[in-house]
Amino acid sequence: PKELPLKGTKVVVTAGPTRERIDPVRFLTNFSSGKMGYAMAEAAASLGAETILISGPVSLVPPANVTLVSVESAKEMLDAVLLHFETASMVIKTAAVADYKPKEVHSQKMKKQAGDSALVLERTTDILLELGKRKKNQLLIGFAAETNDVIHYAKSKLEKKNADYIIANDVTEEGSGFGTDTNAVTLVGKNIERQFPNQSKKELAMQLMETIIQLEKDDSK
């Protein structure tokens, strides 16, 4: 019989981009397709976890056996994650969450005006940082999309956000990062730095999940 190491646990996965509205027809977003997060959710579910997939707007079909929660903005994603956090065993933050949102959301479509225009932005809540503060027994796994000094930034995020693992993604590498079907990453933990070569996001997600489960098992011995 197939082993189900996550049976009886609840795993929360966030995926995709967020949208931060400017007016009824415009928003700020990024190039996340949701593929990596959906693959992580699929892997968690197939390893037996009750899986909650909290997703920004993407055009993917959700994997079987996951509960999909669709959200739009960083604030909605934060609220949805907090709703499930206390009862979760593991939270995997694959989503590319906006760091800033427009300070003012116009209720009517903004009209063109002569000359330049400026958009004033304010910070969104850092969901991972917030979870790191509230963490009890949950395993907290973040992703980090970087263009330079990837491992250095991953290590500093691990510490600053009180995460257990950061999956560092060099998004400048060919066939890796936003939108692609493949990815190459480095898993960074307190005592570990392991590279995973370029492969399909689905295979990679399964390897990451299995590696993390094994590392935690070794750790609790």
Closest to 143 in 3D by CA, of 96, 182, 176: 96
**Beta partners for residue 188, in sequence order:** 166, 193
Whether residue 10 is annotated as binding a ligand: the answer is no
Distance (Å, whole) CA 208 – CA 52: 18
Catalytic site residue 191?
no
Distance (Å, whole) CA 121 – CA 1: 53
Nearer to ligand PMT, 24 or 179 (CB): 179
Supply 119's token pair: 């958009």
Q: Give the binding range for ligand PMT (CB under 6 A) out of 47-55, 101-109, 138-146, 208-216.
A: 138-146
Q: Give the binding range for ligand PMT (CB under 6 A) out of 59-67, 132-140, 172-180, 205-213.
A: 172-180
Does residue number 36 form part of the binding site for ligand PMT (CB under 6 A)?
yes
Q: Is 92 helix (H, G, I), strand (E, B) or coil?
A: strand
Does residue number 56 form part of the binding site for ligand PMT (CB under 6 A)?
no
Q: Running DSSP on this structure, what letter comes out for residue 17?
A: B
Please state the length of the chain: 221
Unique residue bearing structure tokens 């395993």? 139
**Binder of ligand PMT out of 93, 101, 155, 202 (CB under 6 A):** 93
Size of the site for ligand PMT (CB under 6 A): 28
Binding site for CTP: which residues?
99, 109, 143, 157, 161
Residues that bind ligand PMT (CB under 6 A): 16, 32-37, 74, 93-97, 99, 124, 126-128, 142-145, 157, 169, 171, 177-179
